[in-house]
Structure 1
Amino acid sequence: MNWISSVDLKLSTWIQKHLHHKNLSWILSRINRGEMFALVLLPLMFLSEIYKPVYISLPFVLVFTYMTDRLVLVLKKYFARKRPLVSVMGKVDSNPDMKHSFPSAHSANSIVVSTILVFAFRETPYFFLFSLFAGVGRLITLHHFVSDIIGGWVIGFLIGLLAVIIHFFLWPYLVTL
């Protein structure tokens, strides 16, 4: 584990020196939110035939995203790892969320949604770019270490695969409701 922490710290220090910028961080922190992903996803779900009936497909995606988010929250509380903003930049913040870095909820939630859309609903694989942007954005803003992002992606992908398996077996029965 020490070598992971060492690599994380070195990468975050490099990002802080070469990529981190106050204005870019402000923009990325506004764009890199679930609400922005929802602005793309919701109209798509209502307009595309592959999500019909939406009253079943939308809650299906939301349930697994919620499960992922709750699991990540429990893991964050358990590990209580300080964010790079604190450990690299020394930023002091009274916000209790500043000590909850591992795993990245943005990465986990974005990959679970992308996995479900691509593998269960046969959406374009370009949806994985949203997850890539979420992870990279969290690195550049120094909200997460690389291992936080990878951990979030692994957790989200595994829960997404579980959703795909459930979708495969249950969807024919759900759409007849």
Structure 2
Amino acid sequence: MIQIVDQIDFSLSTWIRANLHNPKLNHVLSKINRGEMFLLFLLPFLYLKSNLPISWYFVLLYTGLITYANDRFVLFLKKLIARKRPLITVAGKVDSNPDMKHSFPSAHAANSMTAVLILVFLFQFSPALILVSFLAGVGRLLSLHHFVSDVIGGWVIGSIFGFLGFFLGRALLSFCCS
């Protein structure tokens, strides 16, 4: 089964490299696909949202803590699995950076999904925010930092942490704010 997934991933990444990969787009996506950019985008919405059950900075702290736990788990898996990125296996880029052999799962996809699900389901932000996680994953594919299965795996792990964060947060809110 793993060999079939690898073949599909390699074929899709080869197609992306031939048809969609663009150095200028890669540069832009690498700047946009950072957690700091998501935070800058999110801060005004957090500050202006009037129906939060707790102060906006506690929302940010709680979401950040759950996302951080997710990130540590994803980094553990990356080092355990040590799958080389498409930039090496497809594009043939030679890089001595040890992070280049840590492809599965995509931390960008996982972290963005965790944060977005907590914000959407626990704090009633617009479901359109899920688009941010989708764009993070697609950006990682187009820049050849991840294979399709890396991004899907990241979204699955991020969803698990997001829903765990939702259930824990709901319990905490009912305990402290009821």
**Do they fold alike, i.e. is TM over 0.5?**
yes
1:104 equivalent among 103, 106, 112: 106
2:92 is matched with 90
Deviates more, 1:71-80 or 1:37-46: 37-46
Q: How many residues align?
A: 176
Aligned to 1:47: 48
Task: Report the TM-score, using the length of structure 1 for normalisation.
Answer: 0.96
Distance 1:71 1:43 in 2: 29
Aligned equivalent of 1:162:
164
**What's the CA shift for 1:117?**
0.7
Q: Deviations over 1:55-75 (max 9, x none)?
A: 422211011000010000000
Q: Percent identity?
A: 52
Q: Provide the aligned C-alpha RMSD in A.
A: 1.1
Following superposition of structure 1 onto structure 2, how do residues 144-159 of structure 1 map, counting pairs within 5 Å?
144-159=146-161
SS at match of 2:76: helix
Letter in 1 for 2:29: L
Measured in 2, the distance between the counterparts of 1:174 and 1:32 equals 35
Partner in structure 1 of residue 141 of structure 2: 139
Q: Distance in 1 between matches of 2:66 and 2:6?
A: 30
Quote the offset at 1:41 in angstroms.
Answer: 1.1
How high is the TM-score relative to the length of structure 2?
0.95
Q: Distance in 1 between matches of 2:42 and 2:164?
A: 21
Unaligned runs of 5+ in 1: none
Q: Deviations over 1:99-133 (max 9, x none)?
A: 00000000000000110011111110011000000
Q: State whether residues 56 and 175 of structure 1, in contact with CA within 8 Å, keep that contact through their aligned partners in structure 2.
A: no
- 1-structure distance, mates of 2:164, 2:92: 39
Q: Which runs of 4+ in 1 moved over 3 A?
A: none
Deviation (angstroms), 1:10: 0.1
